[in-house]
Structure 1
């Protein structure tokens, strides 16, 4: 994919990986749509992004999402690349964690990201082109202590994306799942603890992680190359991700089922 002249929509764009993606892809000539809850921070990111449209909203507000989707599509006549990047992490033992924390993380990190994608797949398939990129995590490959809710949603997001990729395999729309390890952002500081409050401090692993601009560059390079499963990690985390990497042959096998009429046959059975 050549990003020049394309329109990319990024959620969670006010900081961290989202902001780094916005700056990098804008530098490659793309028009960017920036979404998140904090309009002032989005506007600050937009200043360094050339052609940019700021659409602030809470990803859990489906009416606001629908309105933003219509505006994003209308701005330049279509959305070519969408990053489902918004999310919140967790740092608490399952034994001590409130069910409301699970509900909140599922709502933000999984249900809202699916809704974001569902609002775009009709548009992209009608055009016969486009790319959807879902930011999962190495915690979506390997169950990590103190992150039971986070692991559940990141595994779930990858499952949705992999199934969606197969369904869209004959449409010209590509689907990419990104598995970052520790990236130097505020993800740990903003993580929810057992009672649902923010942790307020970072992790050493995060602070010493991959710089967000380096991570964003790898993500965009791999999407441009057509890579379906993108692991962005180092050290032990990279080893974990590679150990659990899905073989391309398996993706191809499932896509072949679609090409051979699997969905039509299943629908005909009622």
Structure 2
């Protein structure tokens, strides 16, 4: 697969991985739709991109699922079609289970899971009618195995895998592709913006995220996985080997995570 003449819709495009994807993809022969809650931030990202005439800014809030069908219609009308939806928007969480209010769990599910599912379902009839479409879902290694102090985040990311594995099976005959991207630690502001036990932002960076992959390196590897139409891609440093260790010995992975500096 190439990005040539494709229309790519990116959520969470105002910062971090989404911003890096937008800037990198703007160098390809494709058109982009950039979405997040912050229109002003999206306009700044657009200004950093090549060929701004090929870029549409379309604000949305994944928590407002009732608005996503209308926004999807607007996205399609921007360039007449959508070929690839990169579901990158979302939030993280850092807090002990015993202290975390159920409102935080609900917020993570509303944004990271239900918002992503609602947007994808709104676009699905368009993909089926065109007999082509590619969902790219930014999950996490935490969607495959868990880590302390990320219970709500792990739950929402695990749920994404269940849904999109089913979607891939149901729409194989419609030529609808699904690529699950599972980042390890990437040096973005995801930890600073993570919700704590009472729903407030953490505000500071953790050591493992600070030492994670540079976002430009991650973006290059992610785009390679999309081009190859991989089912899943595990992108990170040594933490990605937790995927394989869980298959061999979940108990050993449990012990290693307990001994790690992940907090």
Q: What TM-score does the superposition give when structure 1 sets the normalisation length?
A: 0.88
Per-residue CA distance 1:99-144 (angstroms, 9 max, x = gap): 1000111101100000010011110011001100111101111111
Per-residue CA distance 1:149-188 (angstroms, 9 max, x = gap): 0000000011111111111111111111010000110000
The equivalences for 1:1-270 within 5 A come to 1-49=1-49, 50=51, 51-235=54-238, 237-243=239-245
Task: Quickly say closer, same or farther: Cα 1:153–1:53, change in 2 above 3 A.
Answer: same
Please provide the CA RMSD for this pair.
Answer: 1.2
Per-residue CA distance 1:49-93 (angstroms, 9 max, x = gap): 321100112112234322221111111111000011111101100
For the Cα contact (< 8 Å) 2:36–2:59, is it kept in 1?
yes
Task: State the alpha-carbon separation in 2 of the partners of residues 98 and 114 from structure 1.
Answer: 24
SS at match of 1:200: coil
Deviation at 1:220? 1.1
Deviation at 1:212? 1.2
Task: State the alpha-carbon separation in 2 of the partners of residues 48 and 31 from structure 1.
Answer: 15
Q: Hey, what does 2:261 align to over in structure 1?
A: none
Q: How many residues align?
A: 244
For the Cα contact (< 8 Å) 2:191–2:205, is it kept in 1?
yes
Task: State the alpha-carbon separation in 2 of the partners of residues 116 and 140 from structure 1.
Answer: 19
- Runs ≥4 residues deviating over 4 A: none
Task: State the alpha-carbon separation in 2 of the partners of residues 62 and 138 from structure 1.
Answer: 26
Task: State the alpha-carbon separation in 2 of the partners of residues 243 and 177 from structure 1.
Answer: 19
For the Cα contact (< 8 Å) 2:90–2:111, is it kept in 1?
yes
Unpaired runs of at least 5, structure 2: 248-263
Q: Hey, what does 2:258 align to over in structure 1?
A: none
Q: What TM-score does the superposition give when structure 2 sets the normalisation length?
A: 0.90
SS at match of 1:183: coil
Task: State the alpha-carbon separation in 2 of the partners of residues 81 and 238 from structure 1.
Answer: 26
